[in-house]
Amino acid sequence: MDKIKNYIDGILTTPYSNNYFNNFDPSTGGVFTMIPDSGAEDVELAVSAAERAFPAWSATSVEERYDLLMSIARLLKERLEKFALAESMDNGKPLKLARTVDIPRAIKNFEFFSNAITQFSSEAHSTDNVAINYTLRQPLGIVGAISPWNLPLYLFTWKVAPALAAGNCVIAKPSEVTPLTAYLLSELFIEAGFPQGVFNVIHGYGHTAGKAIVSHPQIKAVTFTGGTRTGKDIAAIAAPMFKKLSLELGGKNPTVIFADCNYEQMLETTVRSSFTNQGEICLCGSRILVERSIYEKFRKDFTEKVKALRVGDPLLEETDTGAIVSKQHFDKIMYHISLAVNEGGRVLCGGKAARLPGRCSGGWFIEPTVIENLPYNCRTNLEEIFGPVVTLMPFDTEEQAIGISNSTEYGLASILWTENLTRAHRIAAELKSGIVWINCWMLRDLRTPFGGVKNSGVGREGGLEALRFFTEPKNVCIKLN
Ligand code: NDP
């Protein structure tokens, strides 16, 4: 069985404990690689390596960092197919999705941030004729990056690329559920000739390896994407140490559909915004609010389209939704479906595990599920399920739609469908979320601020926000005479 390795001080290495645990292929339920069970000792080694590397790395020119990061992008491009296959096997997502979204976006992250750093500038303030202030933005030192399993390489590189571009050394931990592409990426860093110790990858459990990163005093900032509960634990450790924190957490996003929308576009996009990646995207709309005058029509058309989605072997081209990432997550989603039924929900389609023949007979698959007849404030409509499960709710007025949309503890993204321009702007301003998509979904421009409000997180990533997060501003004031 292949063993994944940590990447510390430029070398692929075994964990200090010498222990490993199983990595499952969710489409078969079988073990296909072994993951290092790393802990504080491994993090300590990585921090020492990063401390040695930082003075030289932080002093490299922007051009040097640009060249090195672009060479990672180029190598990734050359290995796109290998990475896509690894991502699909590790996560259960359709191979075609990994090939067209996950890995291309990881490439884009390196390209984008290597370019962004060449355009990064800081402020200057002329204080009457008395003084000039200018702001230096210097790298923080060693930063920690902890990422989740749903978009493994996509989100891992979304953190690593800007941190390195800004001149920091990085200790990164991918989710233990999907470590493979981060491991393959560390091989590319060796191939690209990255200086030793600048980028380090520690594999292992969150409560051991992850916690050791968060609590290490030499790690000056932590960028984390994952569940809200984990985010709270991380904040509790990091806050008393005055670490910089960026927390991208859970969501329970509303899709609000008005009768005046472009119906065909809305219908096609709402199927995608509900079930892409088995609904395991923090930006998926999981509560679909529909203006009452079109509710019956939408319910019929939407359910028909969802029933037509092909749940299947992630490696097959015709598959629309693949496997659920782990047995544990599969059980959680199934629990939520039974909870919805107990709360009075009517299952319009799905609601069951999907049984696949042959190679995938031991895998963890769930039929795309649509549920109605639930009040907006029941647990099903308040708690994040993070799977192929959506609820439908009719609404009568704009105020009601806004009220229901804002009624959860989350505030990551909202999706709004209307052709009424003034209404679109009016509602966008009222929605309590970090992102509002109007008549579209997942249309991303990497320059825009990305993040959530309320329990969906603190801070923004993306574009200049990320480069600002990974640098410390220092104001220099010069008196003119
Ligand atoms: P988790 O919070 O369980 O884990 C995220 C990462 O944190 C993993 O690498 C995990 O390691 C690690 N971790 C777990 N416990 C600790 C700890 N005590 N200290 C440090 N690190 C720890 O989230 P999931 O991986 O289950 O991801 C799904 C969640 O991520 C959903 O809630 C989803 O909404 C959210 N998400 C948010 C996004 C956003 O941009 N806002 C984007 C994508 C997902 P391990 O896996 O080894 O436990």
pLDDT at 142: 98
Strand 471-479 relative to strand 131-139, pairing: antiparallel
Residue 189 CA, ligand 1 centroid: distance in Å: 24
Say if residue 75 is in the same domain as residue 107.
Answer: yes
Strands 253-257 and 20-25: unpaired
CA distances from 367 to 16, 73, 94, 291, 299 (A): 42, 36, 15, 26, 17
Please check whether residues 213 and 280 belong to one and the same domain.
no
Same domain, 227 and 257: no
Do 182 and 109 fall within a single domain?
A: yes
Residues 100 and 235 in one domain: yes
Residue 451 lies in a domain: no
- pLDDT tens readout for residues 186-243: 999 999 999 999 999 999 999 999 999 999 999 999 999 999 999 999 999 999 999 9
Q: Is 141 domain-assigned?
A: yes
φ, ψ (nearest 5 deg) of residue 56: -75, -40
Question: For atom 16 of ligand 1, which residue has the closest CA?
Answer: 206
State residue 1's pLDDT score: 76
DSSP-derived secondary structure letter, 366: B
Residues 406 and 431: beta-carbon distance below 8 Å? yes
240 lies in some domain: yes
Residue to mutate, 22, 90, 149, ligand 1, most ligand atoms under 8 Å from C-beta: 149
Q: Are residues 99 and 245 in the same domain?
A: yes
Residue with tokens 């990734």: 76
pLDDT of residue 252: 98
Q: Do 329 and 204 lie in a common domain? A: no
Return the percent helix, strand and coil in the chain, to nearest 5.
45, 25, 35
| CATH label of the domain that carries residue 410 | 3.40.309.10
Together in a domain, 215 and 296: no
Residues 190 and 274 in one domain: no
Q: Is 227 within a domain?
A: yes
Taking only the tens place, the pLDDT of each residue in 254-268 is 999 999 999 999 999
Mean pLDDT, rounded, for 342-362: 98
> Residue 232: which domain range?
6-249+456-479
Is residue 222 in contact with ligand 1, taking CB distance under 6 Å? no
Q: What are phi and psi of 117, to 5 degrees?
A: -65, -25
- Which residue's alpha carbon is nearest to atom 48 within ligand 1? 206
Q: What is the CATH number of the domain that holds 32?
A: 3.40.605.10
Distance between CA atoms of 290 and 306, rounded to whole angstroms?
16
My answer on whether 187 and 65 are in the same domain is: yes
The fraction of the chain above a pLDDT of 70, given in percent, is: 100
At 287-324, the pLDDT tens digits run 999 999 999 999 999 999 999 999 999 999 999 999 99
Distance from the alpha carbon of residue 248 to the mean position of ligand 1, in angstroms: 9
Judge if pTM exceeds 0.75. yes
Could you list the active site residues? 248, 282
Q: Is residue 1 domain-resident?
A: no
Question: Is 39 among the domain residues?
Answer: yes
Q: How many domains does the chain have?
A: 2
Same domain, 31 and 152: yes
Judgement on whether residues 380 and 474 belong to the same structural domain of the protein: no
In a domain, 450, yes or no: no
Q: In the prediction, which pLDDT does 240 show?
A: 97
Output the CA angle 372-320-146, nearest 5 degrees: 85
Asked if residue 231 belongs to a domain, the reply is: yes
